Amino acid sequence: MEEIEISSYPLDQLLLSANHRHEKIDRVTAGSISYDQFFRNFMQRNRAVVVEGIVQDWECFQRWIDRSVVPPKLNVPYLKETLPNGPVPVADCERQHYNSHEKLEQSLFEFLQSWETDDDRESTRKRFYLKDWHLRSLLPEYRFYRTPALFTSDWLNEYLVEQGADDYRFVYIGPKGTWTAFHADVFGSYSWSVNIFGRKRWYLLPPGEERKLLNSLRQLPFSVTEQSLRDAGVTFFTIEQKAGEAIFVPSGWYHQVMNVEDAISVNHNWFNGCNVGTVWDNLRSSLADVRREIDDCHDMDNFDDHCQVMLKASFGMDYADFLAIVLYVCDKRLKSIQEEGAEKVKQIDDYVLGKHHVMFDLGAIRDLLGEMVEKKYLDCYPALNCLAVNCLKKLVSVGLTL
Distance CA 43, CA 369 (A): 21
Q: What is the pLDDT of residue 11?
A: 63
Average pLDDT over residues 66-84: 95
Distance CA 237, CA 203 (A): 6
pLDDT digits (tens, 9 = 90+) for 222-266: 999 999 999 999 999 999 999 999 999 999 999 999 999 999 999
Q: What is the pLDDT of residue 20?
A: 64
Domain 2-6+20-270: assigned CATH number: 2.60.120.650
Q: What is the pLDDT of residue 258?
A: 98
Q: What is the pLDDT of residue 389?
A: 97
Distance CA 104, CA 86 (A): 14
Average pLDDT over residues 157-186: 97
SS3 41: helix
Can you give the residue ranges of every domain in the chain? 2-6+20-270, 275-398
- pLDDT higher than threshold 80 for residue 16: no
Distance CA 34, CA 9 (A): 17
pLDDT digits (tens, 9 = 90+) for 322-331: 999 999 999 9
Who contacts 214 (Cβ-Cβ below 8 Å, separation ≥6)?
Answer: 220
Q: What is the mean pLDDT of the chain?
A: 93
Q: What is the pLDDT of residue 14?
A: 41
Strands 246-249 and 190-197: antiparallel
- pLDDT higher than threshold 90 for residue 338: no
Q: Which of 119-123, 128-132, 192-196, 333-337 has the lowest mean pLDDT?
A: 119-123
